[in-house]
Amino acid sequence: HGTTILAVRKGNEIVLAGDGQVSLGQTVIKSNARKVRRIGDGSVLAGFAGATADAQLHHDAHRSADRRE
């Protein structure tokens, strides 16, 4: 079991993709996690493992809420 992150480069173009499943043992916890994200100033693409991708989503949501206050 594990996260699959796939990168393909052709010339100056790159595609980065990942599965969207977060699981705990045999149980699927979430089926639509965003595991490929832009980080920093947006110029860096990164792939995250399932639980980390989910934690990043929660972190971003809290950060966004803090900015609105």
Active-site annotation holds for 3: yes
3-state secondary structure the chain: CCCCEEEEEECCEEEEEECCCEEECCEEEECCCCCEEEECCCCEEEECCHHHHHHHHHHHHHHHHHHHC
What residues form DSSP beta bridges with 24? 27
Catalytic annotation, pick one of 3, 4, 27, 52: 3
> Which positions are catalytic?
3
